[in-house]
A and B are shown apart, each in its own frame.
Chain A
Amino acid sequence: MKDKSDTHLVEYAVLATLAVIISLLFYYFRYDHGVLIFLSGVSSFAYIVWGVLHHALEGRLTKFIAAEYVVFGTLVFFLLYTVLNF
């Protein structure tokens, strides 16, 4: 039987891998603001999906927690968009 902490570790590893891939793409396309805005949207959406799936797999997903990931994902997008818009 799989340990709960093992599953936790795998889910965090997925998040870390996503973060590394998106960071590398950000660096590669650092001069193309159009691509960067698209990447910001994708990374925010990916974070929301990760959060919802992670809590659903843990069996502790509530509307409040889902909303929390949506607002944090939106915040991440606006932090990047404010700079990339200019």
Chain B
Amino acid sequence: MSVLKGKKKSNIVKDWREQPKSIEKFQFVHHFLPHPEEKRRATLLSNRAIIVYCVAMLLIAGIFRFLPKIVPGVLGYASDIAVKDLLTYTNVKRKEAGLSELRLNSALTSAAHQKADDMFKDQYWAHISPDGTEPWDFILGQNYDYIYAGENLAKNFNNSKDVVEAWMKSPSHKENLLSSNYDEIGFAVVNGVMEGYETTLVVQMFGRPRNAAQVASVYEEQTVLEKESAATAAVSEREKEPAVEGAPGTTEEPVYTPTIPEKPAIDVTMATKTVSAVFGGFVGTLLALDVWYSKRKGIHKFTGHTVAHLGILILVVASIWFVLTPGIVL
């Protein structure tokens, strides 16, 4: 039943007619606050408004999906992955499982780099390339004669720890990581554009050489790590300086592909998380306002449970922000 009755109601109507701006203000406020007379939620919390938010999110997701096809490299995944960290985390997991540590091998490292470069060049994300090249072809191409060999792949990750954790969560990758059949390992962390997105590919190659005496020494491992650091530093310096044409006739020792973290113009992970947090936060704030204002004004609405909606939204936004991480393993 309406509270606006008799004389009181006619006075309010008269006041509103004299001051039309107050009506506009009254109507505007109820975009955000529940309506005491109509006993309904704020207009921006109506079923129609929620449908509009869903459609808007779908459109934004569509833009993020198609933008890289029109403007490649603008959207991407920012990363801070380093070979040294990947090696450390891998060996920590092996030690925890009671296994021996793996040594970083230069041939496996070169094979991993070749594989990553090949994936960027031919734009594929698979263990076997479109022309049928298998991981073993890259390893054998480095004259690494093996008894056992394996490969793990990862892309779009933010940091080294997440890469190793994701491999550990997948049974087939975990099997490689914790296999007693391997003595050596090689990593490649390569930045490039894949399907229009600026991203970082991680290739992990395992092996046991046919000749046990060929297992990499601590010295060789250190050399590979230093080479990686030198390549990273060289690329950092080159990026700071303007590009200079190489002098004809000069031969440079080939260096590994850059592994420095590159930042895309728009980090797709942060962008999608922000979109979800903005929509979720906006609806959540309106629901919180609804609870507070309805209690204060004693408004009893015939709707679903606002507190339940609010609780679920808080949980979802918290999950998006703190639990969800980018990255795919193969």
The judgment on whether A and B are partners is yes
Residues of A within 8 A of B (CB): 12, 15, 19, 23, 26-27, 29-33, 36, 47, 50-51, 54-55, 60, 62, 64-65, 67-69, 71-72, 74-76, 78-86
User: Assuming the A-B contacts A74-B54, A76-B316, are A33 and B305 also in contact, with contact meaning beta carbons closer than 8 angstroms in the complex?
Assistant: no
Residues of B within 8 A of A23 (CB): 315, 319
Verify A83–B313 contact, CB threshold 8 A.
no
Chain B 242-294 residues near chain A, CB threshold 8 A: 268-269, 272-273, 275-276, 279-280, 283
Verify A85–B319 contact, CB threshold 8 A.
no
Residues of B within 8 A of A75 (CB): 50, 53-54, 279, 283
Interface of A is mostly: helix
Verify A83–B273 contact, CB threshold 8 A.
yes
Which residue in chain A gives the minimum CB-CB distance to B287?
A72
User: Assuming the A-B contacts A33-B328, A82-B276, are A72 and B50 also in contact, with contact meaning beta carbons closer than 8 angstroms in the complex?
Assistant: yes
Residues of A within 8 A of B61 (CB): 81-82, 85
Interface residues on B, range: 35 or more
Which residue in chain B gives the minimum CB-CB distance to A74?
B54
19 contacts between A and B (CB under 8 A): A15-B311, A27-B323, A31-B162, A31-B327, A51-B304, A54-B305, A67-B47, A68-B47, A71-B54, A72-B312, A74-B50, A75-B53, A76-B313, A79-B316, A80-B319, A82-B272, A83-B320, A84-B324, A86-B64
Q: Which of B64, B156, B303, B325 contacts A68 (CB 8 A)?
A: B303
- Report the 6 A-B pairs with minimum CB-CB distance, sorted nearest first: A31-B166, A71-B50, A68-B304, A79-B276, A78-B57, A83-B272
Complex CA gap A29/B304 in Å reads 31
Q: Chain B's nearest CB lies how many Å from the CB of A29?
A: 8
User: Assuming the A-B contacts A72-B50, A80-B276, A82-B61, are A26 and B323 also in contact, with contact meaning beta carbons closer than 8 angstroms in the complex?
Assistant: yes
B219 interfacial contact with A, CB 8 Å: no
